[in-house]
Structure 1
Amino acid sequence: MKINNSEYGGFVVSKNINSGFPIRYSFREKSSIPQLNGWNLYSIVDDDDYINNAENFTILSAESIFEISPIILEFFDAPYGTDICWLYEEGVHTGFYDIISEKEVTLSEILRNTRI
């Protein structure tokens, strides 16, 4: 799949994800930097000490994100304020849990979310 990175902007990503750990949380907030799209991704092993150190994060393009987990681009247009936990069973991604509404959600529900 050919991806035009300029259509997406940069994703803020835990370096643990780059090291092969699964994504645990993804949330979107309005960015003050126009080159960033507001998506932030934390890995399954990130703790408070880790996420509080900016050195532990990198900016990735949509093409790089697609290689890590293509499903992210399926809900890319979810609104600011989206805050989801990635669910796994025996190491296999099985779905999403909306942290704000406290329930499992589908991709279409994530996209219909109107919180801002």
Structure 2
Amino acid sequence: MELNIGAIFISNRILQDKEPPTWMYREEPSNEGDSGWRVFSGNEDDEYLDNPDNFKLVSADQLIKIDNEIKVNLLAPYGFSFEKDLQTNEWVIVDGEE
């Protein structure tokens, strides 16, 4: 079943370098078709983050193929952020209301 929430802004560290996603947050969308989700490996420095070529837009289904556990997070409203606990391999709410 497809999750049609809009495009997700994702780091190439995840897409190309195959690093796991460990940090994500949702902000108000910047345009129509944008989900507001921003997903990172956690290994991006400021120089990397400042280069828009280091990011791509993907569908929710593409992201779920990378990390199936991320699916439940994608339904959270704007203002939420999550971090993956590398010890338990579970996503934890960092900001937002449960």
Q: What is the TM-score with the length of structure 1 in the denominator?
A: 0.73
One-letter amino acid of the structure 2 residue matched with residue 93 of structure 1: N
**Which consecutive unaligned segments of at least 5 residues does structure 2 have?**
none
Other structure's SS at 2:9 match: strand
After TM superposition, the structure 1 = structure 2 runs for residues 59-98 of structure 1, keeping only pairs within 5 Å, are 59-89=57-87, 93-98=89-94
1:9/1:95 CA distance change after superposition, 3 Å: closer
Q: Secondary structure at the match of 2:28?
A: coil
Considering only aligned residues, what root-mean-square deviation do their CA atoms show, in Å?
1.9
CA distance in 2, matches of 1:24, 1:32: 22
Partner of residue 32 from structure 2, selected from 31, 34, 41: 34
Whether 1:10 aligns to 2:10 is: no
Segments of structure 1 that go 5 or more residues without pairing to the other structure are: 101-109
Asked whether the equivalents of residues 3 and 63 of structure 1 are also in contact (C-alpha less than 8 Å), the reply is yes
Structure whose CA Rg is larger: 1
Contact 1:21/1:44 (<8 A) preserved: no
Residue 97 of structure 1 deviates from its aligned partner by 4.9
- Report the Cα distance in structure 1 between the residues aligned to 2:81 and 2:93, rounded to whole angstroms: 9
Q: Deviations over 1:52-77 (max 9, x none)?
A: 21110000111211100122221212
Check the 8 A contact 1:87/1:97 in 2, yes or no.
no
Q: CA deviation at 1:84?
A: 2.1
Q: Which has the higher contact order (CA 8 A, sep 6+)?
A: 2
Q: TM-score with structure 2 length normalisation?
A: 0.85
Runs of 4+ in 1 over 2 A off after TM superposition: none
